[in-house]
Structure 1
Amino acid sequence: MDRRSLIKNAGIAGVLASGIAPAVHAQAAIRWRLASSFPKSLDTLYGGAEVFAARVKAMTGGKFEISTHAAGELMPAFGVVDGVQQGTVEAAHTAPYYFFGKNEVFALGCAIPFGLNSRQMTAWMHEGNGLKLMREFYAKYNIINFPAGNTGAQMGGWYRKEVKSMADIKGLKFRVGGFAGKVVERMGGVPQNIPGGEIYQALEKGTIDAAEWVGPYDDLKLGFHKVAQYYYYPGWWEVGPELDVFINTKAYEALSAEYKAVVQAAAAEAHVYVQARYDGRNPDALKTLVAQGTKLRPFPADVMNTAFKEAMALYSEIGAKNEDWKKVYADYAKFRQEENLWFQFTEASLDNFMQAQVKAKKL
């Protein structure tokens, strides 16, 4: 009996029982390198790349191996897009909004102020037009992307002094990631784009007045509470930031159909892993921070309202001069509106009720 007849008649169980390995194991060995934008100390962010690589290896019986490299090992944290585009490395794991300086559309693939939350972002990518539109855009950079992580809504960062109104934003030297800096600048702040591993020293020395990273789990590890006591929320610029695996188009197209499917499945597992880990570990980390003297504060209403107004104005201005943005953001904005209309009846209303029960100590 030939191989194809055997597979057709016996099914996968019969193939395994016969001792004939599935087709994916019969392929040539492949070795890739992946450059991360994150240090190993941030085990959840860097861990997303490790999960991706481990699953690729496991699903191919060790035939397809991807070595992961922390920021600075092969290239700088903010050099990974150039590395993938030029084929210096086959892949990268990063937050796309780091590269908004190349084109603002990179931010739409990750997070923009007052954008989609994590569930909505995943829905836009997989059920809306997000993946299609972003892949059309990334193709210009010789890249294909796979969603591979989301932190969920983030905190608003650490401040050396209390923020009581918009007046306290004026002149504030604020380390803020990605596209949010454009909005902070319009609000009168002075945005600073500093890699995660350099934030603590800048905050300690007073080179900056405030800094945001992700949330309690990472922030506790980085020790920001030791050099700034005020911890604000919410991170209106990081509603649901998506991490991506970027792959060089030529390297990806050289893969077999089976290996392409493996890449997609491994990225999907990393996507779930990152947010599950943050959601599971942030609560205890926040309790620890508060116990050590951290002062939690909500952003004042005038700060939130001004940030929203400036963000919406900025998006209109960008759309008037950037055709890529105009095309992608129009779809993104429509999806955001429809999702928030739906969520107000379900997630938002139920979350508000449940959180009220916690405050009333009934839960």
Structure 2
Amino acid sequence: MTKQLLTKSLLSLTLIGAATAAQAEEIQLNAISFTPKTVVISHGFEQFVAAINEEFDGELEINWRGGPEVMPPFRLADAVRNGSIDMALTSPSYYSGLVPSATASNLSFKTYEEIAETDYLARMTEVHAERGLHFLGEIPASPVQFFLFFKEEVSGIEDIAGKRIRVFPTILPFVEALGAEPLVLPMGEIYTAMERGVIDGFAQSNIGWVDQFEDVVNYYITPPYYRAGFNVLVNPDAWNELPEDLRDRVQAYLREELAPQIDQSWEEVIDSGYAQMDEAGFQEVALTGEAADEYIATAIEAAWDKLAEDVEPELHAELKAMLVD
């Protein structure tokens, strides 16, 4: 072998070795979401996964394996805690039994940036750590709010009493305070429950699902209430496999740069949701004046009063001061 050929061979081996080492250093975290990949509400998490994989290419890759078809949504937080999966996107209310204070983030009308200016994110990190979870941050959707939808006509608050309404756990106290009967059901079971008359209405946002419910919904009540936001949970052991510097950079990137961008990206999605409701012929039942004030006050007060039963008084006061004006 000539000296020149030997030099080229050694250089090739060096480059191959360097590439292999770089590839070996990249850490992969498997993630599952509480929503299917294809639905509109997954919009924020889709942005998150793509942005993280691009920003930290060669260091960290998030492998989004799917949603409810992979694992039932209400099991995600426990699966993260016990290490069955590395990461999950979940609704705060879906693991309120494990971390009761997590639901507080929905009980607000503030934007993500307003909340991030407080100590909320740091406090939630501490609270989750106590329960064996790492709280990476929020995939915010502050402009996405919630409505009550019905098939039969309602004209005001008084018509809600006695109705059976599908809720997720965060909304249960509000619906109960309205004199209705709340039933906790996953999103995927709403249509069948409405069609069979198991429920009279349901609590939901207004984005991306109208065409699936046209024949079981005719009315919705405004004003909307609360804010949406979804938590990214990571198994502490999996998280600690990342070098400390990388952990700091990933968390700061989500909380300080990416989350505010995601929070401001929902306008087109929301506008489309309203357009779909109009096209489907959903009729708005608009509460005004004292009725609207009573409706919103009940939503906030009932939920925070219920949270006070499950959260230590000091933490409850801290969170309410951060999230409610």
Of residues 31, 36, 39, the one that matches 2:33 is: 36
- The sequence identity of aligned pairs, in percent, is 22
Which residue identity is paired with 1:99?
Y
SS in 1 for 2:194: helix
Deviation of the 1:259 alpha carbon:
2.4
CA contact (8 A) 1:27 1:63 kept: no
- Give distance in 2, aligned partners of 1:210 and 1:295: 14
Tell me by how many angstroms 1:304 deviates: 5.2
Q: Which runs of 5+ in 1 are unaligned?
A: 1-20, 341-363
Structure 1 position 180 matched with structure 2 position 171: yes
- Going from structure 1 to structure 2, the CA distance change for 1:69 and 1:142 (only over 3 Å counts) comes to same
Return closer, same or farther for 1:194/1:69 CA change in 2, 3 Å cut-off.
farther
Q: 2:139 aligned with 1:139, yes or no?
A: no
- Between Structure 1 and Structure 2, the one with more strand by share is 2
Whole-angstrom distance in 2 between the partners of 1:52 and 1:259: 16
* Aligned match of 1:6: none
Distance 2:218 2:184 in 1: 21
Among 56, 68, 75, the alignment partner of 1:79 is: 75
Residues 154 and 214 in structure 1, CA contact (< 8 A), matched pair in contact too: yes
CA distance in 2, matches of 1:42, 1:270: 21
For 2:14, the equivalent position in structure 1 comes to none
Select between 66-75 and 305-314 the one with higher mean Cα deviation: 305-314
- Contact 1:144/1:249 (CA < 8 Å) preserved in 2? yes
Q: How does 1:255-294 map to 2 (within 5 A)?
A: 255-260=242-247, 261-266=249-254, 271-272=259-260, 274-294=262-282
Return the offset for 1:256: 1.2
Q: Which amino acid aligns with 2:275?
A: K
- SS of alignment partner, residue 218 of structure 1: coil
Greater CA drift, 151-160 or 176-185: 151-160
Q: Per the alignment, do residues 49 and 336 of structure 1 end up closer, same or farther by CA in structure 2, a change over 3 Å counting?
A: closer
Corresponding residue for residue 109 of structure 2: 116
- Local SS of the residue matching 2:103: helix
Q: Verify: 1:161 aligned to 2:152, yes or no.
A: yes
AA aligned opposite 2:280: Q
- Pair 1:262–1:65, CA change in 2 (3 A): same
Residue among 328, 333, 336 paired with 2:315? 328
Q: Does 1:247 align with 2:234?
A: yes
Q: Give me the whole-angstrom Cα distance separating, in 2, the residues matched to 1:91 and 1:130.
A: 21
CA contact under 8 A between 1:99 and 1:178: conserved in structure 2? no
User: Does the alignment pair 1:58 with 2:51?
Assistant: no
User: Matched residues in 1 for 2:66 and 2:147: separation?
Assistant: 26
Local SS of the residue matching 1:163: coil
Q: Structure 1 191/227 Cα, relative in aligned 2: closer, same or farther at 3 Å?
A: same
Residues matched between the structures, number: 303
Which of the numbers 285, 291, 305 marks the counterpart of 1:297? 285
Q: Structure 1: how far apart are the matches of 2:31 and 2:255?
A: 13
Q: Name the CA distance, whole Å, in 2 between partners of 1:280 and 1:75.
A: 30
TM-score scaled to structure 2, two decimals? 0.82
- What are structure 2's unaligned runs of at least 5 residues? 1-17
By how many angstroms is 1:309 displaced?
Answer: 4.3
What is the Cα deviation at residue 286 of structure 1?
1.6
Q: C-alpha distance in 2, partners of 1:214/1:232?
A: 12
In the other structure, the counterpart of 2:8 is none
* Secondary structure of 2:320 counterpart: helix
Distance 2:34 2:192 in 1: 19
Measured after TM superposition, the shift of residue 170 of structure 1 is 1.7
Cα-to-partner distance string for 1:247-268 (whole Å, 9 max, x where unaligned)? 1122212211342113542466
Quick one: which of 49, 64, 68 aligns to 1:68? 64
Tell me, yes or no, if the aligned pair for 1:93 and 1:243 is still in contact at 8 Å.
Answer: yes
* Contact 1:37 1:76 (8 Å CA) reproduced: yes
Name the residue aligned to 2:13: none
How well do the aligned residues superpose, as a CA RMSD in angstroms?
A: 2.8
Task: Provide closer, same or farther for how the CA distance between residues 26 and 66 of structure 1 changes in structure 2, counting only shifts above 3 A.
Answer: closer
Residue in structure 2 matched with residue 210 of structure 1 by the alignment: 201
